[in-house]
Amino acid sequence: MRLTKFTDLALRAVMRLAVAEPGAPLTTREVAEAMDVPYTHMAKAISRLQHLGVVEARRGRGGGLELTGLGHQASVGWLVRELEGEDEVVACEGDPPCPLRAACRLRRALREAQEAFYATLDPLTVSEVVASPTGPVLISLTGLTGPRPG
């Protein structure tokens, strides 16, 4: 199974925010730069993560992005399901629909494989996937290891 670019981007944003210094929120622009992606793409991913309750965004002086408690403890499997949606691996009902859809054994096998993929990710939390050695690498991507300038 292959994740969409949007899901990949959102997961990377969550991981970067998970290792941010407490009380020093990051901006969407800083996260986008750390991940080397366009700001507009990151802004869309952050918006979706806010909607899921994983990221909190505050405006104004001292504002920025922080991972919520849910964000830190979220199952990676749950996050991927939410970001990917309920679509099946193949579009049997697409336009035009597959002529085998009524009697296809492959469709069920692919659905089971997709669920096995998610089930493998279910026990992992965001906090676990950013543990060392990943966390220090994430922090080094931006050079934000010390206090941010005013």
pLDDT tens-digit series, residues 87-108: 877 778 778 888 887 888 888 8
Q: Is the dihedral of CA 145, 146, 147, 150 positive or negative?
A: negative
The domain segmentation of the chain, as residue ranges, is: 3-86+123-139
* CA separation for the pair 77, 123 (Å, rounded): 8
Take residue 88 and report the two structure tokens written for it: 């099946």
* CA separation for the pair 49, 55 (Å, rounded): 6
For residues 33-58, average pLDDT: 95
- Checking if the pLDDT of 142 tops 70, the result is no
- Which CATH code, of 1.10.10.10, 1.10.40.30, 3.40.50.150, 3.30.470.20, is assigned to 3-86+123-139? 1.10.10.10
pTM here is 0.84
- Indicate the Cα dihedral angle 79, 85, 90, 95, nearest 10°: -160
* CA separation for the pair 57, 63 (Å, rounded): 7
- Checking if the pLDDT of 76 tops 70, the result is yes
